Structure 1
Amino acid sequence: MENSRRNFIKNTAVASLAVAAAPAKGFAILHNDKQPDEQTIGHNGYTYKVDKNWAKISINNTPLANCHEMVQDSQGRLIMLGDHTHNNVLVFDKSGKLLDYWGTSLPGGHGLSISKEGGEDFLLLTDCGWALDRTGNTYGQSGQVLKTTVDGKLIFAIGHPRTIGIYKDNEPFKPTETAIAPNGDIYVADGYGSDYIIQYNSKGQYIRHFGGHNNSNPDHNLRNAHGVTVDTRDKNNPTLICTSREENCFKVFTLDGKFIKRIDMPGMYVCRAVINDNNIYAGVCWSKNAQGKQFDGSGFVTILDKDNKVISNPGGAAPNYKNGVLQQTLQAPNATFMHGHDVCIDEDKSIYVCQWNANHTAPIKLTRV
C-alpha cells in the first residue's frame, strides 16, 4: 500500500528525467555563503529573522532539485512540491520536521494549490512539462494538472487542451499554476506554454479561456502567465490576480476573464500572488535595473498592502515610490535568496520561501519579528 501511494502518479507520467523550473535562463551565479545564517530582513514593520536551516531533511533520503511551491493544510502541515522524482512532495511540520513524502513521476513538478471540499483538503499539482536531458539541454513535453488527496490519491487529471479542441496544433501547453474559486472552479495558468488562463469547473470540465498573446487590447495579453490566484479580500467581489512575469506586473481580471487593471512591479519578475489577510505576498525570481539589465540569482520576497502598494521587500531593496509610482526594485546586498519562486504564510505570519535553481536548497523560514 505504501509503495503504491508513493508512486501514485506513475501511470500518468510523461517523462522521468530531471527538470528545469523555467525556460532556459542559464544557471544562477553562486552566492557568497559567508553571510550569517541568521539575518533580519524586510521593511516597514514586515521584518523577519532568516532561518536557512529550517528543514530537517537528509539529502540522501529526500534529495531536492528545485523547491517550487508550498501550501499549508487544515492540520497546519506544510506541503511542498518540487521536481525531484525521488520525492515530488515533502510534508513538514512548522518546526521543519519531515512528516511524509510521496510522488515519483512529476519531472516538471511546479504548481501546488490547495482547496477544501466537504471538510477535506485536496491538492492541485501542476507538471509544467519542462525537462532536462542527460546533457543538460532543455526539451519540451506536454504538461498536466492533477487533483489528488493530501496523501497522494489521484482524483482526476486535466491534460492537453488540444484534446477538447481549444488549442491549435502549434499552441504548446506547459501549465505552471492553478487556483480554485469559491464555487470550486479551477483556473489553470499556462505560463510556460501559450499564456492562457483556462477555466474549468470543479470536475475538470472546460468553461472558457482568456489571456494569451493576440488580444486587440495589449493589457489583456499575458507574457509568462506564471501564476494565478483568486483574490477574495473583497468577499463580495472576488477577482483573479494573474502574473505576467515578463512584463513585471500582475494583471487583475474578473472571474469570467474580463480585464480590470494591472499592478506594476518594476524590475520584479514576480511569481504567483499569495493572499494572506489583507496582504499580497509573492516570490521574486530575479530582478532587473532601469536600463533593462537582468540579474540572475537576484530573487527576494515582496509584500503588498490592501491597496496593492508594496510595503516590504525581504531580501530586496526598500520600496521606493515617486509621485505615487513604484521605482525599479533590485535585490539587497548580502543576498538572502537566489530565485524566490513561492511563499507560504502560516498563522504566526512566518513566511516559508521556496526557491528555484538555488543549489538544491530546502525552503527557508522567515520568522516575523
Structure 2
Amino acid sequence: MKPVALLFLLPALAFAHPDHGTEPGKEVDAPVHTGNGAWSYEAIPHWGELPDGKNLGPLHGGVVIDPKTGLIYVSTDAPHGILVYQPDGKLEKTIAPECSGFHAMAVREEGGKTVIYGAQLTGPKPLRVCKIDTEGKILLEISKETAGDVQGGWNGLTAVTVAPDGDIFCSMGYGAQFIHKFDAKGKRIKTFGGKGNGDGQTSCSHGMAIDTRFGEPRLLVCDRENRRIVHFDLDGKWIGVYATNLRRPCTVSILGDFCAVAELEARVTILDKTGTPVAFLGDNPDKKQWATNQVPFDQLKPGIFSAPHGLTFDKDGNLYVQDWNVSGRVTKLKKL
C-alpha cells in the first residue's frame, strides 16, 4: 500500500453523516452521504426491507446482478433462499430455498442466458458448488463426492468464480485454504494455494473474482486474515500482492479500473488499479460493531456498516452491500 497517497486522502474523507437540518427523529429516513470526489454516494433509506418487518436473513452471503434484467440477487441463510430485488428495492421474488447458505455467488452469461454460481457453505445441502438459472433450477453441482479426494479435504467452502473459458474456481477459505480448479463440466483440473502468509499462500481465502484489468485474466483472491488481496494466474501460479493493510477483506467487485472491497471490519474501500485506496465508504467509528453479526437491526445506522460481507457494482457504479448480520441488511449506495 502507498502510505503517502493514503495520508493525502485522509483529510478529504469523512464518516457518513445525515444531512444537516434533518428533523430530529427522522434521521432514519434521510439520505446519508459517504465517500468523496468521484466516489461520492448516497445511501438509500429502507432499501430492500421486507414487508411487516420480516427479517431478510440471517445474511452471510453475496450479492450479484443479472446483466440482462438488472435484478439484484441476494443470498441468505434463511429458508427462503435467494431474495431477488428490483433496483428500487422492491422484492420481485424468492428462489432456490435448497440453495440457502450460498456464502458467495458469481454471475455470468452462458449461451445467451444468465446463470449464477454459488458456494454453498451451509443449508440443506452444504459444501457444494451449484450453477443455477435465474429461477433457481440447478444446472450443475460439484460436491465432495464429485470432486474426489482433494488436497486438504472438502470443507469450509467460501468462494466461487468462473473464468472467461468456463473453468470454475472454488476456495476452502474456512478450511485448509486450498483453491480448486474445475472445468465447465465439473471435472477437477488442479489444486493450488494452502494456508500461510507467504507467496502463494492465504489465511482465509474468503472471496474471489476474475480480474481482467491487466491483460490476461487473473484470479483475484481476498486473503482475509492476512489483510490483503492477492493475484494468481489462471493456472494457479502466484503473481503477487495487489493490496494490503486492509480491514479483513471479504469480497471484491470490479468496475473499469477500480475495485470495491467489502471489509469485515465495518468499511467498504474503493481501490484503483494499483491497489491504492481512493475512497472509504460507510466507515463505522464504533469499533464494538465491527465484524460482528449480532448488531440489532434497530442499531444499524443508515450508510454505516458493521460487517460488510458481500457486494457488487452495477453498470452505473452504484453499490449493493450485504452486512453479515443475524437479522440481515442490504444497503444500496447510489453514486452521485
TM category (shorter chain) comes to 0.7 to 0.9
Amino acid corresponding to residue 128 of structure 2 in structure 1: Q
**Match for residue 313 of structure 1?**
280
Q: Secondary structure at the match of 2:199?
A: helix
**Match for residue 129 of structure 1?**
122
Counterpart contact for 1:184–1:201, Cα < 8 Å: yes
**Match for residue 282 of structure 1?**
261
Quick check: 197-206 or 300-309, which moved more? 300-309
**Match for residue 21 of structure 2?**
none
**Match for residue 221 of structure 1?**
201
Q: Secondary structure at the match of 2:47?
A: coil
Pick one of 42, 52, 69 that aligns with 1:49: 42
Q: What is the CA–CA distance in structure 2 between the aligned matches of 1:334 and 1:113, rounded to whole Å?
A: 27
Amino acid corresponding to residue 70 of structure 1 in structure 2: V
Q: Cα distance, 1:142 vs. partner?
A: 5.2
Amino acid corresponding to residue 81 of structure 2 in structure 1: N
Q: What is the CA–CA distance in structure 1 between the aligned matches of 2:113 and 2:123, rounded to whole Å?
A: 31
Counterpart contact for 2:77–2:122, Cα < 8 Å: no
Q: Cα distance, 1:34 vs. partner?
A: 8.8
Amino acid corresponding to residue 281 of structure 2 in structure 1: P
Counterpart contact for 1:274–1:343, Cα < 8 Å: yes
Amino acid corresponding to residue 127 of structure 2 in structure 1: G
**Structure 1 gaps, min length 5:** 1-32, 132-140, 287-298, 318-329
Deviation per CA, 1:277-305, whole angstroms, max 9, x where unpaired? 1111111111xxxxxxxxxxxx1111111
**Match for residue 159 of structure 2?**
177
Q: What is the CA–CA distance in structure 2 between the aligned matches of 1:72 and 1:304, rounded to whole Å?
A: 21
Q: Cα distance, 1:252 vs. partner?
A: 0.5
**Match for residue 217 of structure 2?**
238
**Match for residue 205 of structure 1?**
187
Counterpart contact for 1:76–1:93, Cα < 8 Å: yes
**Match for residue 150 of structure 2?**
166
TM-score (norm 1): 0.74
Pick one of 296, 302, 309 that aligns with 2:269: 302
Counterpart contact for 1:144–1:174, Cα < 8 Å: no
1:152 aligns with 2:136: yes
Counterpart contact for 2:194–2:202, Cα < 8 Å: yes
Q: Give the direction of change, closer, same or farther, for the CA distance of 1:40–1:219 in structure 2 (3 Å limit).
A: same
Q: Secondary structure at the match of 2:164?
A: coil
Q: What is the CA–CA distance in structure 1 between the aligned matches of 2:224 and 2:247, rounded to whole Å?
A: 8
Q: Cα distance, 1:119 vs. partner?
A: 0.7
Pick one of 250, 271, 290 that aligns with 1:271: 250
After the TM superposition, which residues 189-200 of structure 1 pair with which residues of structure 2 at under 5 Å, given as runs? 189-200=171-182
Q: Secondary structure at the match of 2:225?
A: helix
**Match for residue 112 of structure 1?**
105
Higher fraction of helix: 2
**Identity, % of aligned pairs?**
25
**Match for residue 97 of structure 1?**
90
Q: Cα distance, 1:343 vs. partner?
A: 1.3
Amino acid corresponding to residue 328 of structure 2 in structure 1: T
Q: What is the CA–CA distance in structure 2 between the aligned matches of 1:347 and 1:335, rounded to whole Å?
A: 21
Q: Give the direction of change, closer, same or farther, for the CA distance of 1:335–1:98 in structure 2 (3 Å limit).
A: closer
Q: Cα distance, 1:43 vs. partner?
A: 2.4
Quick check: 259-268 or 183-192, which moved more? 259-268
Counterpart contact for 1:142–1:172, Cα < 8 Å: no
CA-based RMSD of the aligned residues comes to 2.7
Counterpart contact for 1:67–1:363, Cα < 8 Å: no
**Match for residue 83 of structure 1?**
77
Quick check: 112-121 or 359-368, which moved more? 359-368
Counterpart contact for 2:55–2:328, Cα < 8 Å: no
Q: Cα distance, 1:67 vs. partner?
A: 5.4
Q: What is the CA–CA distance in structure 1 between the aligned matches of 2:131 and 2:302, rounded to whole Å?
A: 40
Q: What is the CA–CA distance in structure 2 between the aligned matches of 1:334 and 1:103, rounded to whole Å?
A: 29
Q: Give the direction of change, closer, same or farther, for the CA distance of 1:197–1:348 in structure 2 (3 Å limit).
A: same
Counterpart contact for 1:90–1:98, Cα < 8 Å: yes
Q: What is the CA–CA distance in structure 2 between the aligned matches of 1:183 and 1:334, rounded to whole Å?
A: 40
Q: Cα distance, 1:128 vs. partner?
A: 1.3
**Match for residue 252 of structure 1?**
231
Q: Secondary structure at the match of 1:90?
A: strand
Q: Give the direction of change, closer, same or farther, for the CA distance of 1:150–1:107 in structure 2 (3 Å limit).
A: closer
Q: Cα distance, 1:65 vs. partner?
A: 1.1
Q: What is the CA–CA distance in structure 2 between the aligned matches of 1:116 and 1:242, rounded to whole Å?
A: 22
Count, aligned residues: 297
Q: Cα distance, 1:61 vs. partner?
A: 6.5
Q: Give the direction of change, closer, same or farther, for the CA distance of 1:56–1:334 in structure 2 (3 Å limit).
A: closer
Q: Give the direction of change, closer, same or farther, for the CA distance of 1:63–1:368 in structure 2 (3 Å limit).
A: closer
Q: What is the CA–CA distance in structure 2 between the aligned matches of 1:130 and 1:360, rounded to whole Å?
A: 17
Q: What is the CA–CA distance in structure 1 between the aligned matches of 2:123 and 2:133, rounded to whole Å?
A: 24
**Structure 2 gaps, min length 5:** 1-24, 285-289, 292-300
Amino acid corresponding to residue 187 of structure 2 in structure 1: Q
